[in-house]
Amino acid sequence: MSEEHEISMQMSQERKSSKLKPQAEKWEEDLPEKYDLQQPTAPRLIRVNEINDIWMEIPRHENITWLGTWVISIGSLIFISLNYFFLSLPDFFSEMTSDNKIEVLLLNFSFISLSLFFSRMALFVPRGTPVRLNRKRQKVYVYEHQRSIWPWMRWPTVIKVFDWTDIHGEMLMYSGRYDYGHRLSCAVCKRGTYEVIDRFLLSYTAGDNRMIRGLWNHCCLYMQYKPVPETPLLTRKPLSWTPVNTIRWPEDLDKESKTAPE
């Protein structure tokens, strides 16, 4: 490693704030620039769906216990069914006071909403939303599912397309009880500036920050046509079964993201 690179790394570690503006929440460190060939960590994918000479697809698995969504969904449905049974009994509802009736109706609405929320989570929320890097086009295609805490609203899917040259890597640090570790965030900046106009995650929480550095280095080298390992660190998919196909690319973007320009 050159002396200049060591000095650059030391300055990055000593920097108390990001060079990217606005700074990301949970920011810990700006990662090396894309064309820095002396990145200190060896390139390595965490997970990968496909990698070839044109494009690479990286899945992003959230730290969610999907079994819990099934348990809560089924449990709330059982509660609603039992509640409906008792409400249908003769004179059970009619003997209540007005205040009690309102409370019961609000309680039922809350549990129906809870059941709908977790049912949608279990059945329809995409697992491992992917990011595709097309090195022939020097484009990045981000599959974003925009879910809400409100189950009665539409949860749309949006495909964002960015130029690779406008993307900068940054490491985030989460310290929650159930979500402790580092994430790889990609900041999309105005061309030639550090003014951030959008952000997306390339990896959810990983316990070892070397995994984050290795993934970033791998993507940088891949987009420069440099040799990179194709076997990821993790080959087993998380337990996130769903009975329906939850990843649906629009036909035009699916074709574009997997082909070279004519």
Average pLDDT over residues 124-144: 96
List the 27-30 sheet strands across, edge first. 27-30, 167-175, 180-189, 196-206
Residue 5 has pLDDT above 60, yes or no: no
- Where residue 253 falls (left for φ over 0; alpha for ψ -120 to 50; beta otherwise) is alpha
Distance in angstroms (rounded) separating the CA atoms of residues 56 and 223: 10
Largest CA distance in the chain: 85
| Beta strand 55-60 pairing with 50-51 | antiparallel
Average pLDDT over residues 215-233: 95
Convert the pLDDT of each residue in 174-216 to its tens digit.
887 777 889 999 999 999 999 999 999 999 988 789 999 999 9
Residue 6 has pLDDT above 80, yes or no: no
Convert the pLDDT of each residue in 236-256 to its tens digit.
888 888 888 889 999 999 999
The secondary element (H helix, E strand) that includes residue 160 is strand 157-163
Convert the pLDDT of each residue in 64-123 to its tens digit.
888 788 888 888 888 777 777 776 766 666 667 777 768 877 887 888 888 889 888 888
From first CA to last CA, the distance across the chain in angstroms is: 40
- Position 14 scores a pLDDT of 53
